[in-house]
Amino acid sequence: MAELVEINSKKDIFPEYQNTPIGLLLEYHNLNKRFSNYEAPKMLIGMCMDNRKNLWIPENFAYIIRSGGANLFYHEFQVSFAIGVGNIQHIALIGHTNCEMVHLDSRKDEFIAGMAKNAGWKLENAQMHFENLSPFFEIGNSVDFLLAEAGRLRRRYPKVTIAPLFFDAENSKLYQIEKK
């Protein structure tokens, strides 16, 4: 079980994120902190490809990988590159409300019809494509997935701080996730 924690002031930021790039991300986005200039990225942000999500951050502040459901499993080389070459020590995973990677099976018919209409695929090819690949991208519950993905990345990169965060598409605010 998890709880979303609002950030309405700097003191609301979890102690482990204060005075880190993750804390700065929360200050920039939620608290309208005045932008600083950055010559190089300070963190990596893994977020969903959803078009409703825009972050309020300065230029050059972060590497950003967009992937359905903020699932970075198939982007591990890019994550490793940001850590190994970009010297990144902080990662924010950002999921959001109404993610379309949740309950993918409910979109199966729409997916197949859309691939036939928009990509010119045969229905049977589109169906096979969906059935073969959708299990890799179904995330179930967004918050639970973020916690699990953060745990997986922490095991993979033990010296990197990983923060699961949640974006509310209606109010455009970021929330911290506290595991109960």
Which domains, and CATH codes, for the chain? 2-101+141-179 (3.40.1050.10), 103-138 (no CATH)
Q: What is the pLDDT of residues 86-116, one digit of tens each?
A: 999 999 999 998 888 989 999 999 999 999 9
Q: pLDDT tens across 120-148, in order?
A: 999 999 999 999 999 999 888 999 999 99
Enter the pTM of the model. Answer: 0.93
Is residue 160 within 8 A of residue 88, CB to CB? The reply is yes
Q: Tell me if 2 sits within 8 A of 141, measured CB to CB.
A: no
d(CA 72, CA 65): 8
What's CA 47's distance to the chain center, in Å?
3
The secondary structure of the chain in percent helix, strand, coil, rounded to multiples of 5, reads 40, 20, 40
DSSP code of residue 4: E
Distance CA 154, CA 162 (A): 6
Residue carrying structure tokens 């691939």: 115
> Do 113 and 169 form a contact (C-beta atoms < 8 A)?
no
Q: Does residue 54 surpass a pLDDT of 90?
A: no
